[in-house]
Amino acid sequence: MRLKQTLFDHFSSIPDPRVVRTRRHLLIDIIVITICAILCGADSWVEVALFGRCKKAWFKTFLTLPNGIPSHDTFGRVFALLDVEAFEQGFENWVASMALLTSGDVIAIDGKSVRRSHGDKKGMFPLHLVSAFATRNGLSLGERKIDTKSNELKAIPKLVQILNLSGCTVTIDAAGCYKEVVQTLLNKGANYVIAVKENQPNLLSDIRELFLRVGKFTHDYTEEFDVSHGREVTRFCEVISGPEALGNIRHGEEWGLGCVAKITSIRKTKTHVSHETRYYISSLTNASSKDMLSIIRAHWKIENSLHWVLDIAYREDESRIRMGYAQQNFALMRKITFNLLKQEQTVKAGVKAKRLNAGWDHDYLLGVLGIKMR
């Protein structure tokens, strides 16, 4: 059997980091086995190698396997050496080939740590990645590593540069509230909605003052109510726009401001009532308060639909892979399989159940991979 064009073609040109005389296994075979293993429930190199051995006869139908299935040490060493940027480029090319972003799509950008990937004795910090997530189709678009959470300012522009975000609206929490980030987004033809907190004290102070004088300016207001998980939540969204109002914000032109927003949330349970007020800046000039509330709520899909799934269905926070680039490459392969499973619609189940189903059913696995046999 031979394979028609698949996602693996996007990784076929990645440079092999090994010395030629040590290459007992083809790099593409190692990548294919690993992605298939993670797709089917493997969360460590030992499990990847075990999956490969159990499925050796099946892999032999379309892989070369000149020296059988690699050991778990071989898998770990290869991915510890594998060029992260080249691997990420292959991933991003694959996503771009299938995830068509349309004008107005909301793209959420946020960071997440792989908590147990640190090495106390070696002074290693946990791996922290900034990811982009398409909230409409539920796909991971790309990721970039940062040294610590405080350095998201450096990683976000790098991530934005490699994505085609023209016409999209990008949402970021306060960690990305910097003029450099805003200018990168505007230069890419994207709009933005960014949270404002104490890391920009002058901007936050000016916005708060503006809403104290709200009656003097062009102002839109909406209210939303819902009940879920035993709590009642009421959200009030106010939006102020127009040059007269925004002229009161210091250096507003450097932020490319189109409007500012204020959201007040009141949460009620049987025993407690809490209030929260959040502020946002945006380049959108014609967004209503209803639109703004919808965009801001869409941002949280990256937490609920990506980061939570990685922790629960993939046990990402428990991963102890630390050598070289291995954890970063493994994190990318989790997102590859996440995208594959999100695109597959024949089985109505969660990601964890779909992973198990892929391991049990070869036909389903091939369908998830988008593979058609000649």
CA 90 → CA 10, 162, 336, distances in Å?
5, 12, 11
The predicted model gives 150-162 an average pLDDT of 84
Residues 169 and 35 in one domain: no
- Answer yes or no: do 114 and 181 share one domain: yes
Of the three residues 255, 283, 308, the one that is the final residue of a domain is 308
Pair 51, 95 in one domain: no
Considering the domain boundaries, does residue 1 fall inside one? Answer: no
User: What is the structure's pLDDT at 109?
Assistant: 97
73 shares a domain with 39: yes
pLDDT (mean) for 302-308: 95
| Same domain membership, residue 152 and residue 230 | yes
Q: pLDDT confidence of 278, banded at 50, 70, 90? A: very high
Identify the CATH number of the domain in which residue 111 sits.
Answer: 3.90.350
Residues 292 and 220 in one domain: yes
Predicted confidence at residue 1, as pLDDT, reads: 45
Q: Provide the pLDDT for residue 216.
A: 78
Residue 317 lies inside a defined structural domain of this protein? no
pLDDT tens digits, residue range 186-207? 999 999 999 999 999 999 999 9
Averaged pLDDT score across all residues of the chain: 90
Residues 98, 74 share a domain: no
Q: 71 and 152: one domain?
A: no
HEC letters along the chain = CCECCCHHHHHCCCCCCCCHHHCCCCHHHHHHHHHHHHHCCCCCHHHHHHHHHHCHHHHCCCCCCCCCCCCHHHHHHHHHHCCHHHHHHHHHHHHHHHCCCCCCCEEEEEEEEEHHHCEHHHCECCEEEEEEEECCCCEEEEEEEECCHHHHHHHHHHHHHCCCCCCCEEEECHHHCCHHHHHHHHHCCCEEEEEECCCCHHHHHHHHHHHHCHHHCCEEEEEEEEEECCEEEEEEEEEEECHHHHCCCCCHHHHCCCEEEEEEEEEECCCCEEEEEEEEEECCCCCCHHHHHHHHHHHCHHHHHHHHHHHHCCCHHHCCCCCCCHHHHHHHHHHHHHHHHHHCCCCCCCHHHHHHHHHHCHHHHHHHHCCCEC
**Are 144 and 194 contained in the same domain?**
yes
Same domain, 67 and 94: no
Paired residues of 280 in beta bridges: 195, 261
Domain that residue 348 falls in: 7-82+344-369
Domains held by the chain: number: 2
The predicted-structure confidence for 63-114, as pLDDT tens digits, reads as follows: 999 999 999 999 999 999 999 999 999 999 898 887 778 788 999 999 998 8
- Check whether residue 74 and residue 222 sit in a common domain: no
Does some domain include residue 208? Answer: yes
